[in-house]
């Protein structure tokens, strides 16, 4: 039987802005980053101010491993817009480095909280790309 959840076709994404342009620049090259402060704090989405130490000068995009675990997920059966296929799997994943992302899980509908996943990329068609996650192949 074919997988009803074999691809992620992203919906429209709002344009990058001054806070997010470096994140999108990395994502366009399929590199996943989170805003990282010299104090050690990592946060997403980018804010331009460290919520741990208040610094505005010590932040830079920090590349992360792309490894994560499923924090929670939901199988969506009702389309929020006409041109999206259901069912699909929406999830929160916790990066190995800490921050939580909202994303899609691709590859079947049978998921469990705590599953290991790794990043994959969906091109937006405007030069940008968005991360989604697939079952991790590492043992």
Partner 1 sequence: MTGVAIVGAAECDLGVTGKSILGLQTQAVSRALADAGLSLADVDGIASTSVSRFSVTQLAEHFGIQPRWSDSTFAGGSVYEMFVARAAQAIEAGQATVVVITFASNQRSAASRKLGGVYEPWTPEAQFEEPYDPLFPLSYYAMAAQSYLHRHGATREQLAEVAIAARQWALLNPQAFRYGKGPLSVEDVVGATPISSPLTAADCCLVTDGGGAVVLTSLERARDLRRPPVRVLGYGERTTNNSFTGAEELTVTGAVGSAADAFARAGVGVEDVDVTQVYDSFTITPVLSVEALGFCGPGEALAMISDGRTRPGGSLPLNTSGGGLSYCHPGQYGVLLLVEAVRQLRGECGARQVPDAEIALAHGTGGILSTHATVVLGRDR
Residue 22 touching partner 1 (CB under 8 A): no
Backbone angles phi, psi at 35, to 5 degrees: -60, 125
Kindly give, in sequence order, each residue whose CB lies less than 8 Å from that of residue 73, ignoring residues fewer than 6 positions away.
89, 90, 91, 92, 105, 111, 113
Only segment of 11-19, 32-40, 56-64 that touches partner 1 (CB under 8 A): 11-19
Pairwise CA distance, residues 64 & 75, whole Å: 27
Of positions 4, 11, 48, 108, contacts partner 1 by CB under 8 A:
11
Mask for 75-104, x = binds partner 1 (CB under 8 A): xxxxxxx--x---x-xxx------xxxxxx
> What distance in Å separates the CA atoms of residue 71 and residue 98, rounded to the nearest whole number?
11
Whether 29 and 54 have beta carbons less than 8 Å apart is answered as no
Of 48-67, which residues contact partner 1 (CB under 8 A)?
none
List the one residue from 19, 52, 53, 60 that touches partner 1 (CB under 8 A). Answer: 19
User: How many residues of this chain bind partner 1 (CB under 8 A)?
Assistant: 40
Q: Are strands 67-76 and 116-123 parallel, antiparallel or unpaired?
A: antiparallel
Binding site for partner 1 (CB under 8 A): 10-17, 19-20, 24, 44-45, 71-81, 84, 88, 90-92, 99-104, 112-113, 124, 130, 132
């Amino acid at each position: 039987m074919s997988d009803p959840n074999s691809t992620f076709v992203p919906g429209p994404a709002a344009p990058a802005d001054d806070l997010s342009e470096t994140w999108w620049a990395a994502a366009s090259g399929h590199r996943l980053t989170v805003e990282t402060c010299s104090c050690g704090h990592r946060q997403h989405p980018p804010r331009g101010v460290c919520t741990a130490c208040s610094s505005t000068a010590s932040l830079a995009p920090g590349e992360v491993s792309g490894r994560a675990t499923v924090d929670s997920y939901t199988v969506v059966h009702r389309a929020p817009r006409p041109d999206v296929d259901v069912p699909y799997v929406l999830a929160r994943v916790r990066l190995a480095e800490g921050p939580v992302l909202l994303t899609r899980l691709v590859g079947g509908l049978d998921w469990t909280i705590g599953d290991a996943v790794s990043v994959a990329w969906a091109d937006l068609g405007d030069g940008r790309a968005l991360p989604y996650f697939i079952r991790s192949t590492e043992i």
